[in-house]
């Protein structure tokens, strides 16, 4: 009978701990992101009118998880391309050099920067 290595033992313990954590997760847990993993630091959804423009944000689904942000924001129904920086701040294609703490703040900054102009769709690569 082969001996159990330290690596095998740790892998087994980690797998059991993960399985126990999944089994103990509450039924009201937040939805998963596009990759199937929930980010506990993901911002809450929002839907509001800011300076006469409708801004909406929610966790991204499908192919909308750009640059690992995992969050989709729309201004008047047009997607605002967002990126999350390594320090947790957010930037958009409209206000690229002005990092903000949340996607809602990025949407508001974009509305401010647009000064009433329409947001045009950003072509995906």
DSSP state of 27: T
Give 16-52 pLDDT, tens digit per residue.
Answer: 566 555 444 444 344 444 444 555 667 899 999 999 9
* Whole-number pLDDT of residue 121: 85
| pLDDT of the residue at 15 | 63
Q: Are 104 and 57 in contact (CB under 8 A)?
A: yes
Which is more confidently placed, 121 or 55?
A: 55
All structural domains of the chain, each given as residue ranges with its CATH number in brackets, are 46-114 (3.30.1880.10)
CA distance 79 to 1: 59
Buried b (16+ CB within 10 A) or exposed e, 1-30: eeeeeeeeeeeeeeeeeeeeeeeeeeeeee
pLDDT for 58: 94
Q: What per-residue confidence (pLDDT) applies to 95?
A: 87
Q: What's the rounded mean pLDDT across residues 60-76? A: 74
Summarised one tens digit per residue, pLDDT across range 71-114 is: 999 999 999 999 999 999 999 999 889 999 999 999 999 999 99
């Amino acid at each position: 009978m082969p001996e159990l290595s330290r690596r095998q033992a740790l892998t087994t313990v980690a797998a059991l701990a993960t399985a126990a954590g999944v089994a103990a997760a509450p039924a009201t847990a937040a939805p998963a992101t596009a990759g199937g993993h929930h980010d506990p630091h993901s911002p809450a959804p929002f839907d509001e009118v800011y300076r006469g423009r409708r801004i909406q944000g929610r966790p991204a689904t499908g192919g909308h998880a750009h640059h690992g942000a995992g969050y989709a924001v729309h201004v008047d129904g047009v997607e605002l391309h967002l990126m999350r920086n390594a320090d947790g701040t957010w930037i958009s294609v409209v206000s690229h050099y002005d990092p903000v703490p949340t996607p809602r703040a990025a949407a508001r900054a974009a509305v401010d920067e647009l000064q009433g102009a329409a947001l045009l769709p950003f072509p995906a690569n």
